[in-house]
Amino acid sequence: MDTRFNLLENELAARFAKRFAGAGLIVHQSALPSSTQELVSLRASQINGCGHCIDMHTKEAAAAGESAVRLHLVAAWRESTVFTEAERAALALAEEGTRLADAHQGVSDETWALVREHYDDDQVAALVCLVALINAANRLAVITHQAGGSYEAGMFAAVLGDQAAVS
């Protein structure tokens, strides 16, 4: 698969990407556990078939100490025993928030109640924003054919450069 368009080489897209990354940084720096952030991003990316984002979030999670077993089981989290109840609530929200067209009601009241049981207001805000951001990132990467396989942990932070210091 050949990349269709390099978003970072286009002035308008690069400006957008910088602001998009800044929004992501707000979530990254939130009280939502980073392991939960990576699991949620990985699951949404799996659903959306985004090889680039699957590659990125798997490698970032592994570099942060996430176990291979948990990473391999994200796709089948309902049928596994390695996730906490809080992580299961976050993964359910990620799935329902990603599959909006498949579920005419969007996120179920049951899933929302589980999320509220395990996360405070700031963490809920971060989780909702994360689901929106990863779905947007998946779409950007899939539309432009950003292939998975070449990402190395820390590459995204290097692209951000001074953005982390600004926020």
CB–CB of 129/23 below 8 Å?
Answer: yes
Average pLDDT over residues 4-29: 92
Say yes or no to pLDDT of 23 above 50: yes
**Mean pLDDT score across all residues of the chain:** 92
The reported pLDDT for the residue numbered 141 is: 94
The reported pLDDT for the residue numbered 159 is: 61
CB–CB of 96/4 below 8 Å?
Answer: no
The reported pLDDT for the residue numbered 163 is: 47
- With 0-12 / 13-18 / 19 or more C-beta atoms within 10 angstroms meaning exposed / middle / buried, residue 73 is middle
Give the whole-angstrom CA distance, residue 167 versus residue 165: 6
The reported pLDDT for the residue numbered 31 is: 98
Say yes or no to pLDDT of 164 above 50: no
Distances (CA, A) of 151 to 22, 52, 56, 120, 167: 20, 8, 6, 33, 25
Average pLDDT over residues 64-69: 96
Average pLDDT over residues 86-106: 92
